[in-house]
Amino acid sequence: MNVEFFISIMVLFAIIIAAGAIAGEFSKGTIKMLLIRPVGRTKILMSKYISSLLFALSMLVVTFGFALLVGGLFFGFESPMQANISAMDGSIIESVVLHLLTSVAFVYVDMIMMITIAFMIATVFTSSALAIGLTIFVRFAGPNVVLAVQQYDWAKYILFAHLNLRQYIGGASYIEGTTMTFSIITIIIYFCIFISIAWCIFYKRDITA
């Protein structure tokens, strides 16, 4: 089992939590009780969304913290803090700690977008099963689609060509010519679109008594 396996497991759990945050209220019928409270729909929606993000963040921190603890127990706690990543010519590129923190941040960006997609689908269709299924499908099918169409210029506008920001750590990218700045801008645009769709649908939805 490698790092990608554990990342996929964490993303899966995050998707499940995000999908059930709103859809679960509809399936249990408790959404009506939430909406009759003197709290705006925007606050209700955002509280559900933020709680999903915090769950994912805590899971990510605990997982990587546990990995550091295990590594420290076997190899000592001082060596990882003092270790550096070096190029083949011996020059120091960056510290291991900085590299780890950067990787964690990039993984969290990936998790945020998967949570956002699941949250949007669950809000639109009020079905956690559909949200989980579709999000998992696009999660694993998306990168393969990018690889299949990477020769086309429009491929660089596909979200899944940019979600794995760790690709830039090694100085490479899935699509030739893309940069980290371009990827971050693309991710932000998709994020705003997904959140806007979820908010518009939830805000305008008629919840009958």
User: Quick one: CA dihedral 183, 188, 189, 190, positive or negative?
Assistant: positive
Q: What is the pLDDT of residues 107-144, one digit of tens each?
A: 899 999 999 999 999 999 989 999 999 999 999 899 89
In a domain, 69, yes or no: yes
Q: What pLDDT was estimated at residue 26?
A: 82
Q: Which residue has the higher pLDDT, 95 or 132?
A: 132
Q: What pLDDT was estimated at residue 82?
A: 52
Contact 170/180 with Cβ under 8 angstroms? Answer: no
Compute the distance between CA of residue 102 and CA of residue 191 in angstroms, rounded to an integer: 21
3-state SS, residue 206: coil
In a domain, 209, yes or no: no
The count of residues in the chain is 209
Mean local confidence (pLDDT), 178-206: 92
In a domain, 19, yes or no: yes
Contact 10/63 with Cβ under 8 angstroms? Answer: yes
Instruction: Report the Cα 164 to chain-centroid distance in Å.
Output: 10
Range of the domain at 168: 3-204
pLDDT greater than 70 at residue 79 = no
Q: What pLDDT was estimated at residue 80?
A: 52
Split at pLDDT 50, 70, 90, the class of 164 is: confident
Per-position DSSP letters for 87-152, written without gaps between them: -TTS-EEEEHHHHHHHHHHHHHHHHHHHHHHHHHHHHHH--HHHHHHHHHHHHHHHHHHHHHHTTS
Split at pLDDT 50, 70, 90, the class of 94 is: low
- Structural domain count of the chain: 1
Q: Which helix (H) or strand (E) holds 57?
A: helix 41-75
Among 9, 14, 6, 3, residue whose Cα is nearest residue 113: 14
Split at pLDDT 50, 70, 90, the class of 67 is: confident
pTM: 0.84
Tell me how many degrees the CA angle 152-112-130 measures, rounded to the nearest 5. 80
Split at pLDDT 50, 70, 90, the class of 23 is: confident
- Mean pLDDT (the chain) is 83
